[in-house]
Structure 1
Amino acid sequence: MPLWHIYHPPGTYTPQQKKQFVDDITGIYTRVGLPKFYVVAIFHEIEEASFFIGGEPSKASVRVVVEHIARHLEDPAHRVETSELIASRLAPHTTERGLHCEFHVDETPRDLWMTDGIAPPPSHSEAEKLWVQENRPIPY
Structure 2
Amino acid sequence: MPLWTIYHPANTYSDKDKQDFAKDITDFYTGFGLPAFYVVVLFTEMAEPAFFVGGRPASDTVRIVVEHLARHLDDPDMRRRSTERLNSIMVPYTRDRGLHWEFHTYESPRDLWMIAGLFPPGPGTEAEKAWARANKPLPY
Task: Report the secondary structure of 2:64's partner residue.
Answer: strand
Q: CA deviation at 1:111?
A: 0.4
1:89 aligns with 2:58: no
Q: Supply the distance in 1 between the matched residues of 2:27 and 2:80 (Cα, whole angstroms).
A: 18
Q: CA deviation at 1:52?
A: 0.7
Q: Supply the distance in 2 between the matched residues of 1:30 and 1:76 (Cα, whole angstroms).
A: 23
Q: Supply the distance in 1 between the matched residues of 2:113 and 2:86 (Cα, whole angstroms).
A: 23
Provide the residue aligned with 1:2 in structure 2: 2
> TM-score of the superposition, structure 1-length normalised?
0.99
Deviation per residue, 1:47-80 (Å, 9 max, x gap):
1111111111000100000000000011111100
Q: Supply the distance in 1 between the matched residues of 2:75 and 2:25 (Cα, whole angstroms).
A: 22
Q: Supply the distance in 1 between the matched residues of 2:38 and 2:100 (Cα, whole angstroms).
A: 27
Provide the residue aligned with 2:42 in structure 1: 42
Provide the residue aligned with 1:22 in structure 2: 22
> TM-score of the superposition, structure 2-length normalised?
0.99
Q: Supply the distance in 1 between the matched residues of 2:12 and 2:53 (Cα, whole angstroms).
A: 17
Q: Supply the distance in 1 between the matched residues of 2:58 and 2:11 (Cα, whole angstroms).
A: 14
Task: Report the secondary structure of 1:106's partner residue.
Answer: strand
Q: Size of the alignment, in residue pairs? A: 140
Query: What do you get for the CA RMSD once the two structures are aligned?
Result: 0.5
Task: Report the secondary structure of 1:63's partner residue.
Answer: strand
Q: Supply the distance in 2 between the matched residues of 1:38 and 1:73 (Cα, whole angstroms).
A: 17
Task: Report the secondary structure of 1:6's partner residue.
Answer: strand
Deviation per residue, 1:68-115 (Å, 9 max, x gap):
000001111110001100111100001110000000000000000000
Provide the residue aligned with 1:74 in structure 2: 74
Q: Supply the distance in 2 between the matched residues of 1:119 and 1:139 (Cα, whole angstroms).
A: 9
The runs of 5 or more residues in structure 2 that have no matched partner are none
The runs of 5 or more residues in structure 1 that have no matched partner are none
Q: Identity rate of aligned residues, in percent? A: 54
1:113 aligns with 2:113: yes
Q: CA deviation at 1:27?
A: 1.4
